[in-house]
Amino acid sequence: MGHSSERRLDLDRGKDLAILLVVFGHLVARADPTGLSWYEPIRALIYAFHIPFLFYLSGYAAQLSGGADATGAAYARLLRRRAHRLLLPAALFGLIILIGKYLAQPIMHVDHAPASLLGGLSDLVWHTDRSPAQSVWYLIVLFVFAIVTPPLLTLWRGRVCLLVALGLLLFWLPVPALVYGDRIAANALFFAIGLFAGRQDTDWCVWIDRHRRSLVVLFLCSLLLVFLLNTELAPKSRMLLVSAVALPALHAAMRHPPRHVARLLDWMTPYALAIYLLNTVFIGLAKGLLMTSLPWNAPWFPLYAVVLMAAGIGGPTAMTLLIRAPLMLYARKYAA
């Protein structure tokens, strides 16, 4: 059970795919476009697996990097690195989004607008189901998993199966939406499954490669089944049913994607975190501008969808490049 610091293309591509689906799921925030009936069923299907897949990949990466087994000084370093990489961006972007939405709401349409700065801050850290910065929750929950996993595995002598059992218990518990508790409970299972698969990395990859086509067919069949059953399945049952086949199927697909898909996802990788954190900001800006001249209804929604997807991906990418360019120029000048 070795650990590697090398990046894995299959994991990076999987995260990029999941983030693309996140952007698509953010096209409609509160009020549905008048007369639109096809978007919500598709979004419900996506929400049955895309966040579980993201946490599965995060657990897998935590295992391969050795972070899941860190103890002593290595655990202290892990704590500092994860706080810097996860908590700091979550706090920074959460505050930026909160203040931006508060200032923008008098002049344009704003989804999840805070009634006040103090109330918005309370929702950002306490009543988190009402958070004005919905995108930051993933970083906070991932930080919790990163710091809790090593002590639990040490206590349980490395038995990841106990983490999976704990995750399954938490998944079904009615945890209130306070301080991201409901999100932690809903996703611990999938992070633990990623850890478990990562521990069997070589054998697991051989198995999913061998059964790739069958897994993808089963995944598509599960989506069709859930679509046909519609509201007869509770959201958690739907998520568990679809994710059971989505996690191995999508991982297998990302190990051998079509060439054009691989190129798109590889291009996204350096900007994936920025897209995840800022897609709602640029989607909101684009939507607010469009709604000043176009109705928010079914006939116009295809145009909205194209523009909002482009804004959700292109806006954060452009901002990253604009920030990175002067920093790189300064670094080169300093090095010279």
**Residue 206 scores a pLDDT above 80:** yes
Q: How far is CA 270 from CA 266, 275, 278, in A?
A: 8, 10, 14
Of residues 110, 112, 118, the one with CA closest to residue 136: 112
Q: Is residue 175 part of a domain?
A: yes
Mean pLDDT of 32-53: 94
What percentage of the chain's residues is helix, strand, coil (to nearest 5)? 80, 0, 20
The predicted pLDDT at position 6 comes to 64
Q: Give me the mean pLDDT over the 129-158 stretch.
A: 95
Query: 230 pLDDT band (50/70/90 cuts)?
Result: confident
Residue 37's pLDDT is 92
Q: What is the pLDDT of residue 330?
A: 46
- For residue 275, tell me if it sits in a domain: no
Q: pLDDT by residue (tens digit) across 71-85?
A: 999 999 999 999 999
**Could you tell me which residue, 106 or 302, shows the higher pLDDT?**
302
Task: Establish how many alpha carbons lie within 13 A of residue 152's alpha carbon, considering only the half-sphere containing its beta carbon.
Answer: 19
pLDDT digits (tens, 9 = 90+) for 264-281: 999 999 999 999 999 999
Mean pLDDT along residues 118-144? 93
**What residues make up the domain containing 128?**
9-270
Query: Is-contact 47 26, C-beta < 8 A?
Result: no
Kindly report the CA angle at 197 between 240 and 238, in degrees rounded to 5? 5
What number of residues does the chain have? Answer: 336
**In-domain check, residue 276:** no
Percent of the chain with pLDDT over 90: 83
Task: Give, in order, the Cα–Cα distances in Å from 229 to each of 137, 234, 323.
Answer: 30, 10, 47
Residue 232 has pLDDT above 80, yes or no: no
Residue 307: inside a domain, yes or no? Answer: no
Q: Is residue 163 part of a domain?
A: yes
Query: Average per-residue pLDDT in the chain?
Result: 92
User: Between residues 115 and 143, which one has the greater pLDDT?
Assistant: 143
254 within a domain of the structure (yes/no): yes
Between 201-210 and 212-229, two packed helices, what is the crossing angle to 10 degrees? Answer: 70
Specify whether the CB–CB gap between 194 and 167 falls below 8 A.
no
Q: What's the first-to-final CA gap in the chain, in angstroms?
A: 43
Cα–Cα distance between 336 and 317 in angstroms, integer?
Answer: 28
Which residues, listed in sequence order, are joined to residue 34 by a DSSP beta bridge?
297
Structural domain includes residue 288: no
Say whether pLDDT at 1 is over 80: no
Mean pLDDT of all residues in 231-246: 91
What is the mean pLDDT of the segment spanning 141-164? 97
Q: Kindly state the average pLDDT of the residues 161-176.
A: 97
Q: Would residue 37 count as lying in a domain?
A: yes
- Phi and psi at 297, nearest 5°, equal -145, 175
Global pTM reads 0.93
Tokens describing residue 168: 């399954």
Total domain count, the chain: 1
| Predicted pLDDT of residue 3 | 59
- What's the chain's Rg over C-alpha atoms? 20
Q: How many CA atoms lie within 13 A of 321 on its CB side?
A: 8
Is the sign of the CA dihedral 75, 79, 80, 81 positive or negative? positive
- The pLDDT of residue 331 is above 50: no
